[in-house]
Amino acid sequence: MKAQTKTSLPDIYTRVTDKIIADLEQGVRPWVKPWKGGNAGDRITLPVRHNGIPYQGINILLLWGEQLDKGFHSNRWMTFKQAQALGANVRKGEQGSLVVYANKVTKSETNDQGDEIEREIPFMKGYTVFNVNQIENLPAEYCTERDPVEKEPLALIEHAEVFFAKTGALVRHGGNKAYYAPAHDIVQLPIPASFDTAESYAATKAHEITHWTSHKTRLDRQLGKRFGDDAYAAEELIAEMGAAFVCAQLGLTPEVRDDHSAYLDHWLKVLKADKKAIFTAASQAQKACEFLFSLQGADEQQAA
């Protein structure tokens, strides 16, 4: 019997989803763990590959979780072979972390009419990476840590406000609730002074503006066909992760909103019923994040 050399597609979905479910069952959202872990301090960074290119989508959640669970201080990851190519080595006994790679292959086929057609076949595979804290003898530039981000005073964070303004979203202030009203296409927030920190205000605005991207004139995010009665909970999951992705790129420290704790049971129901749901949600959150950055102009996109 020929040995199987790669992880099967269903197994990857199961492994990743089970990991997210385990965190949620403990009341912990993996997309906000970096801002609650003591070893992360005040630094907010996206996980990056050996060449500095940021990971996206589900891999952000996986590596954020691994960084906090294992106490890594670096956000950089690489494969065993990439470390070897740099003249370095993974320390004996170190356990790697799962990331996934998705792509499509094109296959030529002959249809019933005898015409040759090309069909795209999606595939996904898992592979193992190691944090640079698990690797010895790396060049010095791979071990350099970024300077800690100084905490902002309780005032609107200028670069975040510029970012949100460039999206063109209509934001109104008043009342004691934060929400996006699709019928009127407006984001409603309490006044900034009602928030404990400037970061929590910015994170809440990021969450509601992620909802704003769902409008039919923007990303036209219609979840009913996929999630049915759970579409509302799925949209909240997308908005939470989208806000986390945006905040990470803006260098902000968001806070977990207490009013979203009620969604945990709904999210668990969705994820347990559909092993691909977390992949869909993370992908949609990534698209929302990229859309918001696409509205910033060339300078901001390069910075992102």
Instruction: Provide the residue ranges of all domains of the chain, joining segments of one domain with +.
Output: 26-149, 151-304
pLDDT in tens, 137-184: 999 888 765 554 454 445 899 999 999 999 999 999 887 788 999 999
Q: Is the pTM above the cut of 0.75?
A: no
pLDDT at 5: 44
**Stretch among 18-22, 40-44, 93-97, 111-115 having the lowest mean pLDDT:** 40-44
Are the C-beta atoms of 292 and 246 separated by less than 8 Å? yes
Q: What per-residue confidence (pLDDT) applies to 196?
A: 78
pLDDT, mean of residues 116-122: 79
Distances (CA, A) of 178 to 25, 152, 232, 267: 26, 22, 16, 20
pLDDT tens digits for 252-262?
A: 875 656 666 66
pLDDT at 34 > cutoff 80: no
Give the span between the Cα atoms of 249 and 52, in whole angstroms: 14
Instruction: Tell me if residue 111 falls in helix, strand or coil.
Output: coil
Confidence of residue 44 (pLDDT cuts 50, 70, 90): low
For residue 227, the Cα-to-chain-centroid distance in whole angstroms is 20
Maximum Cα interatomic distance, the chain, rounded to a whole number of Å: 70
- Grade residue 111 by pLDDT with cuts at 50, 70 and 90: confident
**Which pLDDT belongs to residue 145?**
56
